[in-house]
Structure 1
Amino acid sequence: MLKGKTAIIYGGGGAVGGAVARAFAGEGARLFIAGRSLAKLEKVADDISAAGGTAEIAELDVMDEEAVKAHADDVAAKMGGIDIALNAVGLFHVQGKGFAHLSLDDFAFPITAYAQMNFITAKAVAWHMAKRRSGVILTLSTPGGRLPGTGYLGFGTACAAVEGFSRLLACELAPSGIRVICLRPHALPEALALQSHARAVFQPAAAQAGISVDEMLAGPAETLLKRYPTLAEVAQTAAFMASDKAGAMTGTIANLTCGALVD
């Protein structure tokens, strides 16, 4: 589905980013994966190479606007453009504290960080996509922005911000032929085995319940399908959304919550 496409995945060494990178490569895309951990990026690149694909890695901080722009400019110059970009960067943030015990800094950090990094990466690639009047920008959210609950006020607000940003960015970029899609998976138990930051994030909530993080996510999920999505399902959906097969879709949220939310 992605033969001949050039894709950048920010956070490409992480659980979701790595899974999507492998799926994109399997569909024929040329991958450029960026992140802060070279060891994780190298592992993903090696997997892609072993499967017959190609991937180049770059150590990059997505909060460094100049560095992100320079990296995108280099990719576009080398490949003649950029077709797809996904921001799959995950940041540690405080969860498990109720409103009365939540500091302003802990509340504001995920909101500011996730909004800023999505703005920075989208702006870096959109200029190159607009030149060819074609491109797809993918963002990543969770159901936290709409699920009722306590202990994730900051992150839930951040997810709502990313989804709102994605819808409005689609309006901004549509005249340039650029589509914007937000992927919204639920918790991903597989990610815990891949050194994801999610384990540390979920730890306070699990401790309050008197169980481990693994036990918390191993039980029956409160979703219509009674399970959580798999990394493969998220990655395959991302590949479809990035392809021309989904060419009529923009400004929407791909609901991958197994029915935790019903749109």
Structure 2
Amino acid sequence: MTTTTTVSGLLEGKVAFITGAGRGIGAAAARLFAREGARVVLAARTESQLKTVAEEIRAEGGIADHVVCDLGDASSIRAAVDRAVELHGRLDVAFNNGATNVPPGPMDQVTEADFDHIYAVNLKGPWLAMVAEIEAIRATAKTGAIVNNSSVGSLMANPELPAYGAMKRGVNSLTASAAATYGPEGIRINAVAPGTTLTEMFSEWVESSPDILQRLNAQTPLGRVAEPEEIAQAAAWLLSDRASYVTGAVLRVDGGMLA
């Protein structure tokens, strides 16, 4: 007599909402979460990118839908989260990954318009998203998990990207506060802090500072950049029931940069 063991996916049966899902870490997360058994709802500003990723997931047998969403706009975020509940009747987990960047340079060269823009998307955006997601989880699944995408640059001085680092440090604080507030209800909230990761956003930084890749790799014990999926793997674990006693953490996924 032979017995077979079925190993279920990390996120089997969960409904997952992912922001910034059209490219980079968000797209990698959407593909991975779907492979791990989640029904995924992808949100971002650029519909063509979202459609491409969602179609790829469906072609591989996954369940994926998309909704256009402006992370700086409260009603837009709420509508996107509501759409996930409309489609699947519940929300279990969310990955707040969407972010923007501004040209690198010292603090006195950051324009007020750029500062306001990066605040609206990278700090206000995750706050708005968490509020909507917590409301949806409470109303449907009752318990769940949220992961915010921070940055290793939030954990140290960030002279080349001062506004970006400041907003991401704010995300760490929101993460800790939310973990303390909603933990008693069984809603876990954590963050990942990626090191150098091969995304389109990072490629734009390389274009303006050609030596940055070499400098960052020299500071990284693993000596290389991360693939987007390597960050997504950490987020998937934090969202899964295997991380059931982890909340309020900022998990460095940085190749040892801050070791």
Instruction: Return the TM-score normalized by structure 1.
Output: 0.87
For residue 127 of structure 1, what is the aligned residue in structure 2? 135
The structure 1 residue matched to 2:230, chosen from 212, 215, 233, is 233
Number of residues of Structure 1 aligned to a counterpart in Structure 2: 249
Instruction: Tell me how far 1:16 sits from its aligned partner.
Output: 0.4
- Aligned mates of 1:106, 1:42 — CA distance in 2: 29
Partner Cα separation in structure 1 for residue 16 and residue 188 of structure 2: 14
Secondary structure of 2:209's match?
helix
CA apart distance, 1:27: 0.5
| Alignment match, 1:12 | 21
Distance 2:144 2:216 in 1: 40
1:251-262 equivalences under 5 Å are 251-262=248-259
Is residue 41 from structure 1 mapped to residue 50 from structure 2 by the alignment? yes
Helix, strand or coil at the partner of 1:255: strand
Matches of 2:233 and 2:123, distance apart in 1: 25
CA distance in 1, matches of 2:237, 2:183: 19
The two structures have a TM-score, normalised by structure 2, of 0.88
Aligned counterpart in structure 1 of residue 85 of structure 2, from 64, 76, 80: 76
Cross-structure match for 1:150: 159
One-letter amino acid of the structure 2 residue matched with residue 64 of structure 1: D
TM-aligned CA deviation for residue 164 of structure 1: 1.1
Provide, for residues 102-140 of structure 1, a one-character-per-residue CA deviation record: whole Å limited to 9, x for no partner.
Answer: 344444542343111001111111112123431111100
**Structure 2 unaligned residues grouped into runs of 5+:** 1-9
* CA distance 1:118–1:105, shift in 2 (3 Å): same
Tell me if 1:113 matches 2:110: no
Aligned partners of 2:138 and 2:214: how far apart in 1?
42
- Give the whole-Å Cα distance in 1 for the aligned partners of 2:110 and 2:68: 33
**1: distance between equivalents of 2:56 and 2:99?**
21
Relative to structure 1, is the Cα distance of residues 94 and 240 closer, same or farther in structure 2, using a 3 angstrom cutoff? same
CA RMSD of aligned residues (A): 2.0
Q: Is the 8 A contact 1:35 1:61 kept in 2?
A: yes
Alignment of 1:74-113 (within 5 A): 74-95=83-104, 97-113=105-121
Structure 1 gaps, min length 5: none
Partner of 1:137: 146
> Equivalent residue for 1:200?
204
